[in-house]
């Protein structure tokens, strides 16, 4: 049952009070002046912005102006990611509004509607975007939502929103003011990114990350089946450190309990689909066997293969769930669907090394270094699960050749392409490193199972016993020989006495 509106309002208000941190509008003058100078180089000044037509139906000239602002905003890096965000936006007079045009602002609220707007074709062919998204953002007031205070135009929305019909999504954004509507006075803000903080309607792991201050829209920047990509390609590195920072605030026990609960929920979903998956697989096999057309057979063969994979995936998940653990198979087989999902598994850590954080990406976060573990599980097909954790248990060994049993509760991040330390040999080629794919899971700290203790060297013990036994045998032998010599000398002396 969904909560009643007043309760939901209070929930959002409390949530954003923590996220925004400031109840008033904060202006970053230096940042705004810098951006205005960039706009002026493109001959976009407040007077030009004042000529912008009313949306949502813009002329080609209006779109060209907006796209120029978008492009320059994308290139204008955030100089201070820790700057506070406002919970309102209240310029009233025409003079105040004119001063705000071209200003960089940071605001937060709730997105209540999203509309996809197609760009004119001749402009779409010349830029990186084919569509933009028109959103309505409402600020939070003490009694609930305020009015639809701000219109947002953005080039990107979180991927999960594209299938949504209704919206109540908590966001923060950094953008620039380009217009105040002549009809209702609403400001129009352009932004390239909406930082998203869901309270429901997202994977359990994403909800956990968002509750600890992570912008989970950054997870859309993850690039699967690739090495970690450079910042100019995507913000994947920012997502990595933001997730580690959020998980660093969660105790290992809480993380384990959340992940264990998620195991049961995921298993229940797969169990509900198991019968349908089995029927679909059998139906496709029957159709394939009865078809003689080569084209149809090729298509059915691919469909049968996919159906078999899904059926096997369900079986793997349900098998591991019996032990209260997650199967690692979904991370290998459907990584896009598993990003931000919670997993818990046990295995053997065969490698643990410390890695210094990249200062530029981890700026203002509490992650200065992390540890990279290679964990092999019973169902990982002898491939490692790379686990990045911010801490290790006291006394946990490090190095490239360890064997320690661990349990890991964490969030799946990406399917990573990496080069194996083992060399692959191919006919006619020199040896080279193999390229493999492996999941990357982020966590706070692994649980060390059956913590190592100094082991007794049984071979040394038996060797010692054998040595003592040999020593005793030698001593007995020497004693017997010495006794025999004494007896022989005594007999000789008696013989000599008799002869005399």
* Extents of the domains making up the chain: 5-201, 254-448
Q: pLDDT, tens digit, for every residue of 288-312?
A: 899 888 888 899 999 999 999 999 9
- Greater confidence (310 vs 28) lies with 310
Mean pLDDT for 465-483 is 62
C-beta of residue 440 within 8 angstroms of C-beta of residue 386: yes
Residue 95: pLDDT band by 50, 70, 90 thresholds?
A: confident
pLDDT for 483 equals 63
Strands 369-376 and 131-138, sheet pairing: unpaired
Measure the CA–CA gap between 13 and 15, rounded to whole angstroms.
Answer: 5
Do the beta carbons of residue 100 and residue 187 sit within 8 Å? yes
Quote the CA–CA distance of 407 and 405 in Å, as a whole number: 7
Say if strands 369-376 and 342-356 run parallel, antiparallel, or are unpaired: antiparallel
Distance CA 277, CA 269 (A): 12
Instruction: Please provide the average confidence, as pLDDT, over all residues in the chain.
Output: 83
Residue 90: count of CB within 10 angstroms of its CB: 11
Ranking 170-174, 204-208, 433-437, 481-485 by mean pLDDT, the lowest is 481-485
Instruction: Give tens-digit pLDDT for 45-94.
Output: 888 888 888 877 888 899 999 999 999 998 888 877 778 888 777 777 77
Rounded Cα–Cα distance for residues 497 and 494 (Å): 5
The 10 Å Cβ neighbour count of residue 53 is 12
Q: What is the pLDDT of residue 25?
A: 40
pLDDT band at 129 (very low <50, low <70, confident <90, very high): confident
- Partner residues linked to 195 by β-bridges: 172
Q: Which of 176-185, 312-321, 368-377, 485-494 has the lowest mean pLDDT?
A: 485-494
CA 61, CA 67: separation in Å to the nearest integer? 10
Query: What is the model's pLDDT at position 167?
Result: 92
pLDDT score for 448 = 96
Phi, psi of 244 (to 5 degrees): -60, -40
pLDDT of residue 475: 60
Using pLDDT thresholds of 50, 70 and 90, give the confidence band for residue 262: very high
pLDDT attached to residue 375:
97
443: buried, middle or exposed (CB in 10 Å: 19+, 13-18, 0-12)? buried
In degrees, to the nearest 5, what angle opens at C-alpha 383 toward C-alphas 377 and 384? 70
Distance CA 320, CA 79 (A): 46
Q: Considering the entire predicted model, what is its pTM?
A: 0.80
- Give percent above pLDDT 70 in the chain: 78
Render pLDDT for 204-261 as a digit per residue (tens, 0 to 9).
Answer: 999 999 999 999 999 999 999 999 988 888 999 999 999 999 999 999 999 999 999 9
**21: β partners:** 85
pLDDT at 30: 80
Q: Which of 135-149, 260-274, 483-497 has the lowest mean pLDDT?
A: 483-497
Question: Using CA atoms, how far apart are residues 414 and 234, in angstroms rounded to an integer?
Answer: 14
Rounded CA separation 170/157 (Å): 12
Nearest-CA neighbor of 163 among 218, 116, 118? 116
Per-residue pLDDT band at 1 (split at 50, 70, 90)? very low
* pLDDT interval class at 403 (50, 70, 90): very high
Q: Determine the Cα–Cα distance for residues 436 and 327; give it in Å rounded to an integer.
A: 19
Could you write out the three-class secondary structure of the chain?
A: CCCCHHHHHHHHHHHHHHHHECCCCCCCHHHHHHHHHHHHHCCCCHHHHHCCCCCCCCCHHHHHHHHHHHHHHHHCCCCCCCCCEECCCCCCCHHHHHHHCCCEEEEEEEEEEEEEEECCHHHHCCCCCCEEEEEEEECEECCEECCCCEEEEECCCCHHHHHCCCCCEEEEEEEEEEEECCCCCCEEEEECCEEECCCCCCCHHHHHHHHCCCCHHHHHHCCCCECCCCCCCCCHHHHHHHHHHHHCCCCHHHHHHHHHHHHHHHHHHHHHHHHHHHHHHHHHHHHHHHCCCHHHHHHHHHHHHHHHHHHHHHHHHHHHHCCCCCCCHHHHHCHHHHCCCEEEEEEEEEEEEEEECCCCCCCCCCCCEEEEEEEECCCCCCCCEEEEECCCCCCCCCECCCCEEEEEEEEEEEEEEEEEEEEECCCCCCCEEEEEEEEEEEECCCEECCCCCCCCCHHHHHHHHHHHHHHHHHHHHHHHHHHHHHHHHHHHHHHHHHHC
Task: Express as a percent the part of the chain with pLDDT over 90.
Answer: 55
Please tell me the least confidently modeled range out of 153-167, 282-296, 352-366.
Answer: 352-366
Residue 200 φ then ψ, to 5°: -160, 175
| pLDDT score of 121 | 85
Choose the CATH number for 5-201 among 1.20.1250.20, 2.40.50.140, 3.10.50.40, 3.40.50.720. 2.40.50.140
Taken in order 310, 313, 319, 325, the sign of the CA dihedral is: negative
Q: How far apart are CA 342 and CA 275, in angstroms?
A: 25
Contact between residue 65 and residue 81 where contact means Cβ atoms under 8 Å apart? no
**Does position 268 have pLDDT exceeding 50, yes or no?**
yes
Contact 212, 250 (CB under 8 A): yes
Q: Using an 8 Å Cβ cutoff, are 55 and 134 in contact?
A: yes
CA distance 34 to 104: 9
Question: What is the sign of the dihedral through the CA atoms of 127, 133, 138 and 140?
Answer: negative
Q: What is the C-alpha separation between 432 and 438, in angstroms, rounded?
A: 19
């Amino acid at each position: 049952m969904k909560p009643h509106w007043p309760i939901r309002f209070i929930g959002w208000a409390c949530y954003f009070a923590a996220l925004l941190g400031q109840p008033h509008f904060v202006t970053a003058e230096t940042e705004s002046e810098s951006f205005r100078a960039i706009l002026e180089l493109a001959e976009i000044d407040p007077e030009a912005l004042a000529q912008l037509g009313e949306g949502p139906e813009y002329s080609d000239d209006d779109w060209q102006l907006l796209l120029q602002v978008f492009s320059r905003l994308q290139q204008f890096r955030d100089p201070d990611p820790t700057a506070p965000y406002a919970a309102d936006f209240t310029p009233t007079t025409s003079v105040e509004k004119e001063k705000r045009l071209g200003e960089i602002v940071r605001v937060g609220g709730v997105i209540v509607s999203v509309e996809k707007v197609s760009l004119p074709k001749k402009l779409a062919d010349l830029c990186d975007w084919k569509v933009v998204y028109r959103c309505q953002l409402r600020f939070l007031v003490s009694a609930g939502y305020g009015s639809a205070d701000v219109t947002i135009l953005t080039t990107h929305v979180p991927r999960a929103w594209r299938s949504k019909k209704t919206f109540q999504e908590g966001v923060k954004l950094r953008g620039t003011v380009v217009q105040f509507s002549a009809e209702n006075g609403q400001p129009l803000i352009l932004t390239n990114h909406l930082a998203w903080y869901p309270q429901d309607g997202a994977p359990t792991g994403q909800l956990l990350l968002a509750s600890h201050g992570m912008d989970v829209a950054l997870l859309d920047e993850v690039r699967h089946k690739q090495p970690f990509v450079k910042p100019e390609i995507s913000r994947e590195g920012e997502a990595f450190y933001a997730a580690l920072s959020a998980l660093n605030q969660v105790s290992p026990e809480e993380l384990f309990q959340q992940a264990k609960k998620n195991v049961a929920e995921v298993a229940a979903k797969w169990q509900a689909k198991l019968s349908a998956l089995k029927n679909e697989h059998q139906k496709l096999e029957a159709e394939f066997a009865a078809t003689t057309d080569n084209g149809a057979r090729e298509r059915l063969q691919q469909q049968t293969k996919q159906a078999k994979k899904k059926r096997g995936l369900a079986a793997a998940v349900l098998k591991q769930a019996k032990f209260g653990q997650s199967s690692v198979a979904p991370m290998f087989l459907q990584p896009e669907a598993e990003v931000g999902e919670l997993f818990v598994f046990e295995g053997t850590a065969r490698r643990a090394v410390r890695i210094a954080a990249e200062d530029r990406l981890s700026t203002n976060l509490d992650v200065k270094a992390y540890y990279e573990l290679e964990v092999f599980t019973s169902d990982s097909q002898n491939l490692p699960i790379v686990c990045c954790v911010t801490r290790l248990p006291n006394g946990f060994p490090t190095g490239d050749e360890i064997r320690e049993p661990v349990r890991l509760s964490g969030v799946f991040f990406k399917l990573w392409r990496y080069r194996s330390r083992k060399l692959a040999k191919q006919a006619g080629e020199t040896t080279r490193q193999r390229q493999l794919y492996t999941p990357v899971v982020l966590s706070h700290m692994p649980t060390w199972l059956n913590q190592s203790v100094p082991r007794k060297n049984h071979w040394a013990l038996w060797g010692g016993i054998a040595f003592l036994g040999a020593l005793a045998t030698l001593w007995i032998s020497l004693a017997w020989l010495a006794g025999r010599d004494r007896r022989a000398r005594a007999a000789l002396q008696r013989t000599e006495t008799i002869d005399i």
